[in-house]
Structure 1
């Protein structure tokens, strides 16, 4: 008979964000992102809903608007609220291997999963970035 309940040999790390807002009628998406060695990753963008992620391999530099950029290593999780919050960086901090992470996103209906900012919007929002990256 199979055991009931959690395995005594499994471990569980949990990233929990309570009361995560989502748009009515949202859809869910899971994607694996591979960032080549030393690559800066996607340019400044926003998501149409919250994003939960987990780094599978390597190490990424993660920067959300208003927060100090920080490294996330393989085995660590992250989250971002989406909507109007800009995601500036998810670059590969390793120049010897690719970095990979998996994301679970709740996407608003009829809105692209990612919307990139143009240079005018990046400039207009520069004051919202963390002081450590303001030029």
Structure 2
């Protein structure tokens, strides 16, 4: 019985190490700022438009934006979710919304073999960073 427990414990440790290595080795998104525009009718706010390229297997860390974020998928397939919401898989032409208080818990390329690309339009506090990591 001790041998079985020892084998199971060893398996769990190895599985944990492999999962940690996979998460650490996941490709990162490539983010480009496309344009920023002040909003005169909304003092203290601006619009920021970014493009996000997910290489195959890319995974975002948990984060928030403190902004209204409107996602529009251009190519490939992505998986998104906010805290308390369900995961959704989106393809070209589909959209996703994040409110300023949302914590973005899932953001990843749905494919390990094909890239994905999307545009995000953010209505955000002026001069604030748009990506805030969450522990």
Range of TM-score over shorter length: 0.5 to 0.7
Structure with greater proportional strand content? 2
* Residue in structure 1 matched with residue 51 of structure 2 by the alignment: 32
Q: Which has the larger radius of gyration?
A: 2
The equivalent of 2:17 in structure 1 is: none
Higher RCO (Cα < 8 Å, 6 or more apart): 1
Which of residues 79, 82, 100 in structure 1 aligns to 2:117?
A: 100
Distance, in Å, in 2 between the alignment partners of 1:87 and 1:26 is 21
Residue 70 of structure 2 aligns with which residue? 52
Q: Which runs of 5+ in 1 are unaligned?
A: 1-22, 119-135
Runs of at least 5 residues in structure 2 that lack an aligned partner in the other structure = 1-41
Instruction: Report the TM-score, using the length of structure 2 for normalisation.
Output: 0.65
SS in structure 1 of the partner of residue 44 of structure 2: coil
Q: When you count helix as a share of all residues, which structure comes out higher?
A: 2
**Poorly superposed stretches of 4+, deviation over 3 Å:** none
